[in-house]
Amino acid sequence: MTLEFSVERESSSAGPSFEAEMAAQADQVYLRPDVKIEPLVCGWYAWIHLVSPAQHALNVLNRHIPLLQSFIKNPSVHVVSAADPALFGGPFVDLAADKVSQVQELLAETEVRCAKLLTWARDFRQFDRELQESAKGYSLSDFYARLPQSMLGLAEVLYDLNNHPKVRLHEELMYDADLAAGTQQIMLSRIPEQDRPFFMSTPRLKSDDNLMFDIDFSDRRLDLISSMRTHSRSRRFIARELGVRPEQEAVFEKFWTSTPARRDAPEYHGNGVRVRYFGHACVLLQTAEVSILIDPMLAWDNDKGDGRYTFCDLPDWLDYVVLSHNHQDHCAPEMLIPLRHRVGEIIVPGNNRGCLADPSMKLALRKLGYEKISVLDAFESIRVQDGQIVSLPFPGEHVDLDIYSRHGIHVELKGRRFTFLVDSDGCDRHLFRRIAARVGKKADALFIGMECHGAPLTWLYGPLLTKPITRGNDDSRRLSGLNCERARHAVDEFEPQRVFVYAMGQEPWLKYIMGLAYKPDSIQLREAAALLDYCRSIGIPAEKPYIHGEMEFDSSAAAAAA
């Protein structure tokens, strides 16, 4: 199944001339596979916290503006720091010193275009500080009279059972308030993957090599452009739809080709289950009847000669996309917007409603233009042809914050069983034991994330804090997955037939989104290698896929008959 788009064509009663027919054929083009369609908000790469309104507001106030101001004040510090590979992923703007004037323009533009967001963020920060200082266990009714204008009707003040006060947001109404109106953009460029600056610290500026358009992420014109990676259409029509100006034509022309991109057997017609590894945590499971894509984080460049699968190697139709959690490398608007026109249903975990640290994935996906979204709680399932998709509890990794929007994934297809623990950190092995008792042991494949020493709390969640955190507290609370000891517990409890260590963020196209580069002796790699050795020592085949991978499982019925 594919989504078709209609294109108006000029016609005459006498029929098209030979010259007109040749011109129409010449105008049919494909989007070059290495073209990046970056979603932006006021020039910043749009990760999921820049789609959700409250989180967007606090990121502008507490991350974007301070970074821009710091670069303007002392660009040389940023230039030197950004050039140090060891500091990649840190709070340094990766721009040349001669870009100060453009950064000043962006700062001024941000103050104007994000005015409503900034007002809300400043009001929220002040109100929350007063609440934390003043609420001592007595009734909170009087605090509603203190709500600033920007928060009226959008918040509730509560205690937990230990009399700790907190603000609960009415997130659906936050979207209705439309605080971010007019801030969404897309940028077309062919910047090589290794040159993409880190998404959280460096804004995208206009240049002679890119084009920016003010366009909402839900706009269906983005479906049309995205479809052109694999289906040719009229370049002139696209230029007209986007409003490309004459002075932009030369740059616009560089994004198109008359040659379709490589497609490596995207459809599967076998009797069993084909599993393809697209890098990081992105895995595609296919039977002849159904396709399931988990955590899309795809490569765009396809000319690297390393066998990678790219967007163009996906099937034309994805019955299900399953997102495990709300981090930038698992739930990426840059990936989800181009996929939108070819996805039947998207599956996400529920969230801790109204919690600032846990924005709703469902609401954000609606803002990205998705319509059929299923939310699963732990052990709820969705029936698919010849199987099911089951949501699993996902312990740890979220720096001890009260975040619900995370789940592991268990997929059963044609009698084969695949379990994805993603970035879980199993501090309590008994949880793995209870999960295995629910879904069953001896899955055909167990996928385990082992980013065992991740970034500290403030790296991702710092802008959401209304009070400072000590360095010691920050350093102790990390975005970490399983180490070898805890991963061994998972293997022992699930007793899988095969083990795959994945979601390590090592693929070359992920640098801009992961902000990391392992050294050969990095603890993450040492721990992963130790787990592989352990699995092999007990007779379980184990590997750590990199760049790409493929395996095929016969259906259990066919295997039994053989």
| Mean of pLDDT values over 61-78 | 98
pLDDT at 304: 84
- Which ranges of 360-506 would DSSP assign to H, the alpha helix? 361-367, 429-439, 457-461, 471-476, 484-494
Residue 526 confidence class, pLDDT cut points 50, 70, 90: very high
Between CA 491 and CA 422 the distance in angstroms is 14
> Under a CB-based contact definition with an 8 Å cutoff, are residues 405 and 419 in contact?
no
Amino acid at 123: D
CA pair distance 425, 395, nearest whole angstrom = 6
- Under the banding of pLDDT at 50, 70 and 90, the label for residue 95 is very high
Q: How far apart are CA 81 and CA 121, in angstroms?
A: 29
Spatial strand order of the sheet with 210-214 comes to: 44-45, 36-41, 184-189, 210-214
Q: Band of the pLDDT at 262, cuts 50, 70, 90?
A: confident
- φ, ψ dihedrals at 184, nearest 5°: -85, 140
What is the pLDDT, as a whole number, of residue 19? 52
Domains detected in the chain: 25-114+180-261 (no CATH), 273-544 (3.60.15.10)
Which range is least confidently modeled, 107-121, 286-300, 513-527, 530-544? 513-527
Q: What is the pLDDT of residues 204-228, one digit of tens each?
A: 999 999 999 999 999 999 999 999 9
Q: What is the pLDDT of the chain when averaged over all its residues?
A: 93
Query: pLDDT for 375-391, tens place per residue?
Result: 999 999 999 999 999 99
Q: Identify the residue with better confidence: 20 or 467.
A: 467
Which residues on adjacent β-strands are paired with residue 41? 44, 184
Beta strand 282-286 with 273-279: parallel, antiparallel or unpaired?
antiparallel
Residue 308 one-letter amino acid = R
- Cα 44 from Cα 490, distance rounded (Å): 39
Write out the two tokens for 265: 């057997």
Which residue type does 23 have?
A: A
Q: Kindly tell me if the per-residue pLDDT of 561 is higher than 60.
A: no
d(C-alpha 523, C-alpha 88), whole Å: 18
Measured over the CA atoms of residue 305, residue 306, residue 307 and residue 313, the dihedral's sign is negative
pLDDT digits (tens, 9 = 90+) for 417-446: 999 999 999 899 999 999 999 999 999 999
Cβ atoms of 342 and 316 closer than 8 Å = yes
Residue 23: pLDDT band by 50, 70, 90 thresholds?
A: low
The residues with which 388 forms a beta bridge, in sequence order, are 383, 412
> For residues 44 and 38, what is the distance between their CA atoms, to the nearest angstrom?
9
How would you classify the pairing of strands 373-376 and 165-169?
Answer: unpaired
Q: How far apart are CA 450 and CA 424, in angstroms?
A: 8
Q: Which amino acid is at 244?
A: V
Q: What number is the average pLDDT over the span 332-359? A: 97
Mean pLDDT on 529-537: 98
Between residues 518 and 539, the one the model is more confident about: 539
12 pLDDT more than 90: no
Q: Is 562 exposed, middle or buried (0-12, 13-18, 19+ CB in 10 A)?
A: exposed
| Rounded Cα distance, 500 and 450, in Å | 10
Q: How many alpha carbons fall within 13 Å on the CB side of residue 248?
A: 18
Q: Is-contact 131 143, C-beta < 8 A?
A: yes
Q: Hey, what are 495's tokens? A: 């007793």
Tens-place pLDDT, residues 98-147: 999 999 999 999 999 999 999 999 999 999 999 999 999 999 999 999 99
Decide if pLDDT at 21 tops 50: no
Q: How high is the pLDDT of residue 8?
A: 37
Measure Cα distances from 501 to 98, 410, 506, 529, 530 in Å: 43, 16, 12, 9, 11
pLDDT tens per residue across span 394-411: 999 999 999 999 999 999
Pairing mode of beta strands 373-376, 343-349? parallel
Count other Cβ atoms within 10 Å, centred on residue 320.
Answer: 21
- The H or E element containing residue 30 is strand 28-31
Nearest to 374 by CA among 424, 320, 417: 320
Q: Which of 537, 530, 513 is nearest to 452 (CA)?
A: 530
